[in-house]
Structure 1
Amino acid sequence: MLLLNRFAVSLRHFQKLTKPRRWHHTSLTNELIENMDKKATWDRFYAENGSKGKFKNFEWFFGFHAVQEFILPVIQTMSHFHSHPLHILDMGCGTSALGPCVYKHSPCAVNVTCADISPVAIRLLEEHTNTLSLQSQNPSSVLSFIEMDCTQLRGQFESRSLDLILDKGTTDALVRSNEGRVKAGQIIRQCLQVLRTSGSLLQFSDEDPDARLVWLEREIRETDQAADVGVQEVGELRGVSYFCYQITPRVASHLKL
C-alpha cells in the first residue's frame, strides 16, 4: 500500500505543484516539463529546490517505503544465486532517498550506486546522506554516488555487471519531454546489455500497462537481447495509479543462473 509523502509528486501533477509563483516567477516550470531530457534543466531544478533551506529528499511518485515490498524480495531471491554483493543501480536518482534506503534496509550484501545526470543533485544527495551516517543491515554493503548520463550505461558499467536497476520516474520524465522518447529507448537497450542474465530492471511508473507494455516490448524487439516483461500494480496515490514493470533478460533453458 502506498504511503503518502508530502515531498512525493507525480509527473502528471508536476505543473500544478510548481506554479511559476513558487519558483520566483522564472521559466523553470515550462522549461523542465518540455526538456526533461536535458541536463541543464535538472541542474537548475535541483539548484533552486536545494536553495530553499534545509535539505529534503525530493521523491518523484513516492518514497522507498511504498515499494520496498517490490524491491527487497527481488534482492533476496537474487542473493541465493550469488556469493558477492549484488550490484544495484538507482538510475536517475535525483535527490531521492531510494538508493540510500535500499543500502540501509537490505539484509543481503548490496553495492548500491546512485547515479544522475545532474551533478547538483548528486552533490546534494551525497552530502545529505553523509550527514545521516547511515548504517546498513549488512556490514558488507556499499553505497556510492556518481554523475552519469543514463543513456551511456555501457561507458560506466561492463557488460553483464549489474544485478538490479531501479528506475523511479526517469523513463517517465524522458518520454514526456520533447525529444526524450528516443533516449528512453536507448536506456532500455543499455540496461539489457549491462544486466546480468539473472538480473532485472524495475520501472516504477504511472503510465497505464496498455501503453507501457506495448512500448517496452517494441523497444526490446529492436535489441539482440530477448527479455520478459511483467507488471504489478503498486497502488493509488492522490488519484493516480502506479505500476511496477519488471524487465528480465531471457536466458536459454540450458544456462545456469
Structure 2
Amino acid sequence: MCHSDLIENMDKKSTWDRFYTENGRRAPTFKNFEWFFGFESIRHVLLPLLPPEPCPHRVFQILDIGCGTSALGPCIYKHSPTAVQVTCADISPIAVRLMQENISSKPIHPNSVSSLLRFVEMDCTQLLSHYSPNSIDLIVDKGTTDALLRSKEGKGKASQMLKQCMTVLRESGALLQFSDEDPDSRLLWLETEAQEQGVVGNVVTQEVGELRGVVYYCYQVSPTVHS
C-alpha cells in the first residue's frame, strides 16, 4: 500500500484490514505497532487521571478508540492502580484478532484482580450502538481523529465520533486526543464543533514532547454538562 493511498483512505475499514494483514506478513512474530509513540511517552498524562485507590462500587471504564495493534490499552490495564475495564476498539477485525491472539499467548497480570481487558471490533463513529450515555470515564484517542481528519472523506466521521464520545462520557469523564496537530488548528476545529453541535465543554492542551523532530500534544476534552 503506497503512502498517499493510506493517507487518503484512512477512514475506511478496508484500508486498515489491508494494512494489518500486510504488517503481519512482514514480521515472523507479532509486534505491536505504535502510531506516534508508546505508553511510556504518555504514562505521566494517563495514570494521574485514574483513581489512586479502588472505587468500592464500580470499575473505572476506559475506551481506547482506534486501538489497532498498539500496546497502549494493555499497558493501561497492567499499570492502573485501581480496577479498570479497558476496551480496545478498532474497526478492523484483523487488528482485533491479532491483539486477542497475542494476549492469549502472553497474558498480562494487572495490579487489580478485578481489572478486565477486552478487544472489540467497533466503528467508533457508532459508540451509542455499544454504550449508554454517561457510561465511560475515560476515552483515549491516539491518532484516530488525526487519521479521519487527514483522509479524503473522513472529516464528517471525525465530527460524528467526537459527538458520540462526548455523549457516552460521564460528566466527570474526559476524552484525550493525542495528536501532532498544532493547537491553533486543533483548537479551532474543536471550537467549531462546539458551536455547530454543542458537544464540547472544556479543552486543556499540554505538550507531550518531541519525538523524531515532531512535537506531540494532548488535548483533554471534557463534555458539556447537559441540563
TM-score interval, normalised by the smaller of the two chains: over 0.9
Distance 1:66 1:226 in 2: 26
What are the Cα deviations for residues 89-119 of structure 1, in whole angstroms up to 9, with x where unaligned? 0000000000000000001110000000000
Task: State the percentage of identical aligned residues.
Answer: 58
Distance 1:97 1:186 in 2: 26
What are the Cα deviations for residues 117-162 of structure 1, in whole angstroms up to 9, with x where unaligned? 0000010011112211100001110001100111101111111111
What are the Cα deviations for residues 43-80 of structure 1, in whole angstroms up to 9, with x where unaligned? 00000001122110000000001101100101136x68
Give 1:168 deviation, angstroms. Answer: 0.3
Task: Assess, with a 3 A threshold, how the Cα gap between structure 1 residues 42 and 226 changes in structure 2: closer, same or farther.
Answer: closer
Residue 201 of structure 1 is matched in structure 2 by 175
Distance 2:169 2:56 in 1: 14
Residue 95 of structure 1 is matched in structure 2 by 69
Residue 18 of structure 1 is matched in structure 2 by none
Residue 59 of structure 2 is matched in structure 1 by 85
Task: Assess, with a 3 A threshold, how the Cα gap between structure 1 residues 133 and 218 changes in structure 2: closer, same or farther.
Answer: same
Distance 1:130 1:80 in 2: 26
Distance 2:80 2:54 in 1: 14
Give 1:181 deviation, angstroms. Answer: 1.2
Q: Are 1:167 and 2:141 matched, yes or no?
A: yes
Distance 1:63 1:110 in 2: 20
Q: Contact 2:190–2:200 (CA<8 Å) still a contact in 1?
A: no
Residue 213 of structure 1 is matched in structure 2 by 187
Q: Taking structure 1 as the reference length, what is the TM-score of the superposition? A: 0.84
Aligned residue pairs, count: 226
SS at match of 2:197: coil
Q: 2:86 aligns with which of 112, 122, 126?
A: 112
| RMSD over aligned Cα atoms | 1.7
Unaligned ranges ≥5, structure 1? 1-26
Residue 143 of structure 1 is matched in structure 2 by 117
Letter of the 1:192 partner, please give it.
Answer: M
Distance 2:56 2:216 in 1: 31
Unaligned ranges ≥5, structure 2? none
Residue 61 of structure 1 is matched in structure 2 by 36
Distance 1:251 1:81 in 2: 23
Q: 1:71 aligns with which of 36, 46, 49?
A: 46
Q: Are 1:29 and 2:3 matched, yes or no?
A: yes
Task: Assess, with a 3 A threshold, how the Cα gap between structure 1 residues 81 and 223 changes in structure 2: closer, same or farther.
Answer: farther
Q: Are 1:234 and 2:208 matched, yes or no?
A: yes
